[in-house]
Amino acid sequence: MSAKRTLESLPRGSSVANGSEAGGTAQPIRRTGGPQLVATSLLAPGSHVERNPGTPLDLDVVRAIRVNRSAVERRAATIPSRRTVKKDWQAAWLLRAITLMDLTTLSGDDTPGFVRRLCQKARNPVRRDILAALGAQDLDIKTGAVCVYHAMVPTAVDALEGSGIPVAAVSTGFPAGLSPFEQRVEEIRQSVAAGAKEIDIVITRGHVLTGNWQALYDEVKAFRQACGDAHMKSILATGELATLTNVARASMVAMQAGSDFIKTSTGKEPVNATLPFGLVMTRMIREYGEQTGHVVGFKPAGGIRTARQALDFMTLMKEELGNRWLQPDLFRFGASALLTDVERQLEHFVTGRYAAAHRHPMI
């Protein structure tokens, strides 16, 4: 008897090792032609949650937030070992990881041709022979979005037409966020007008470092209004905020101001997405949800290059927020190199051999 055992079938808090669940009998997926790793419904976008409308700024809540750094680091250190995902289970999780990626190019040498090729990779992120061997050829695997600078938005929108893949634009003076305020707001409006469905804004780090929470709230709220129907991800640049308490407070203010997602980094800071930052931010998402009933997504970005790192962040989401945060409308990776390693791991699962990275080019 074969069983379609997927990550969504796992109870929260269970331990997975070599395809088995703690407290139960393992039901591995049998390889009949190719393992049926995931049901179509698992990879399809979930019913989209109602957008976070924000709340009035509550300085009492913000100032009461304190973070115990040593406790966070101890807890974060246990996350990679809490779920040892192997074999069929790992392949299923990695297929899911692809659907959670914002495939990204944010380089000074970006060209329209490069962006078009990246968009083609977003449409077809895994070689068809690998998908066929996995029994996943009919699952319409594609990335969660393509993320580019404003100048490349029209090119990406045209290249992705009919795919259902949204274009995300970094904005508001990315990465430093220090251009004149009205210019930053206008940049959002122009990207939305050009067809971007998601806007990744950057906050003014100085507001956090000086404790000017009202200024941060007003800034993010103005950006949210400029986004209109486009979903907004607020980049906190956690590596530049000095303390985990600042990261937590900035997360709360950004959510109160109406952010649809909070995001760790621009990818340009010396320290980018780490599990301690992720743990603090997901705890704030949970606390904000308990206080308001509103749901906010999370996006780690910067330095996530390996399948192992992706699995660690997916484990964090499952442990802290539950399965619902393993859908692309509530969780994304900022990824420019991650897809190559995920595809290599999937080929290894199929063939038992690791391919050289150049066999899985991004473009």
Lowest mean pLDDT segment, chosen from 108-112, 165-169, 309-313, 352-356: 352-356
pLDDT digits (tens, 9 = 90+) for 18-32: 333 333 322 322 233
pLDDT digits (tens, 9 = 90+) for 239-254: 999 999 999 999 999 9
Q: Which residues are catalytic?
A: 200, 263, 299
Q: Which of 354 and 136 is assigned the larger pLDDT? A: 136
Distance of CA 222 to the CA centre of its chain: 23
pLDDT at 4: 32
Report d(CA 303, CA 85) in Å as an integer: 21
| Cβ(233)–Cβ(199) below 8 Å | yes
Where do the structural domains in the chain lie, given as residue ranges? 57-352
Report d(CA 271, CA 237) in Å as an integer: 9
Report d(CA 139, CA 88) in Å as an integer: 16
- Which residue, 230, 293, 232, 239, is CA-closest to 267? 239
The CATH class, in words, for 57-352 is: alpha beta
pLDDT at 20: 31
pLDDT digits (tens, 9 = 90+) for 320-344: 999 999 999 999 999 888 999 999 9
pLDDT at 362: 65
pLDDT digits (tens, 9 = 90+) for 189-217: 999 999 999 999 999 999 999 999 999 99
Beta bridge partners of 146: 103, 167
What does pLDDT average to over the chain? 88
C-beta pairs of 206-211 under 8 Å, 24+ apart in sequence: 208/236, 208/241, 208/246, 208/249, 208/250, 209/241, 209/242, 209/246
Alpha helices in the chain (DSSP H): 40-43, 59-64, 69-82, 87-99, 112-123, 128-134, 153-159, 181-193, 205-209, 213-227, 244-256, 275-292, 307-320, 338-351
| Cβ(192)–Cβ(199) below 8 Å | yes
Report d(CA 23, CA 14) in Å as an integer: 8
